[in-house]
Each structure stands twice: as structure tokens, then as C-alpha cells.
Amino acid sequence: MNWMFYAFLSAIAKGTTAVLAKIGVRDVPSNRATTIRTAVVLVFAWGIVLARGETAGLREMKGRILVFLMLSGVATGLSWLAYFRALQLAPATRVAPIDKLSLPISVVPAALLLGEPVSLRLGAGIALMVLGAALTIGA
């Protein structure tokens, strides 16, 4: 399966997450809810790694790779904590579109740090996403 299959699967799962999380944080502190979610993700991800036999080379991972993976983990943790708190305070239909602004936010560093191209078409799509998120805020 190609990257697009996984990208759409990610979008479907993430879209489902907003509704499930909104229900889950109804009567629970958002930080506790995030901790439970994180524990499930940890067990689930390690289960896949073990089932696929992808543990070889774990001890050899060091330096820059580990630093960036750990920083990514910190960013993910902050994102999840903020996301669950936002869901506790506002409707999922407002929180989820704003959360999707991660795409436009990721384009600038991807272009600057990774040298990824930014086409007119990509710029137009990002502008529409930002406009869509802005429209949901005032809905």
C-alpha cells in the first residue's frame, strides 16, 4: 500500500479521535484522559513493532536520531494535552478544524529545514484550510 492509503487512514482515525475523545473527557480531567490515551498508544505501537519483528537495531539508535525522535515525542505530548483540554472546553466541531492547522504550521519548517517545495497549488490549499478553520471559530 502506498503513502496515500496511510495518509487517508490517518485522517479517518484522527477524525474519529475528536468525537471519541470529546466523549472520553466529559467527566475526567483532560491530563488524566491524555495519560490513558498515551498508555494505549504505547502498548498498541509496541505490539505492532513486536508483531512485525522490528526490534532489531534498537540498541544502535543514538545521537541525533534519538534527540529528534524524543523532541517529536515531547511535541506530540504537548499537542495531545492541549487537544484534550480544548475538547473539554469547546465543541469537537470547533476544536478539530483548528487542530488541523498543524498542516500549514508544518509547511514552513518543512520548506526551510527539509528543503521541501511549496507550490502555488499547495499554498492555495493551505490558504483554504486556514480560511476554513477561521470560519469554524466564529460558527
- The percent helix, strand, coil of the chain (3-state, each to 5) is 80, 0, 20
- Regarding whether 104 and 82 lie in a shared domain, the answer is no
- Regarding whether 106 and 82 lie in a shared domain, the answer is no
The radius of gyration of the chain's CA atoms, rounded to the nearest angstrom, is 17
- Regarding whether 125 and 77 lie in a shared domain, the answer is no
Structural domain for 117, as ranges = 100-139
- Regarding whether 84 and 121 lie in a shared domain, the answer is no
Q: How many domains does the chain have?
A: 2
If you average pLDDT over residues 25-37, what whole number do you get?
91
Task: For 64-118, write each residue's pLDDT tens digit.
Answer: 888 998 999 999 999 999 999 999 999 988 888 889 899 889 998 999 999 999 9
- Regarding whether 64 and 22 lie in a shared domain, the answer is yes
Q: Residue 13 pLDDT more than 90?
A: no
- Regarding whether 65 and 107 lie in a shared domain, the answer is no
∠ CA 7-8-11, rounded to 5°: 90
pLDDT for 139:
60
- Regarding whether 120 and 59 lie in a shared domain, the answer is no
- Regarding whether 113 and 82 lie in a shared domain, the answer is no
Q: How many residues does the chain have?
A: 139
pTM for the predicted model, two decimal places:
0.80
Which helix (H) or strand (E) segment holds residue 101: the answer is none
Assigned domain for 95 exists? no
If you average pLDDT over residues 114-130, what whole number do you get?
94
Assigned domain for 83 exists? yes
Task: For 40-76, write each residue's pLDDT tens digit.
Answer: 999 999 999 999 999 888 888 888 888 998 999 999 9
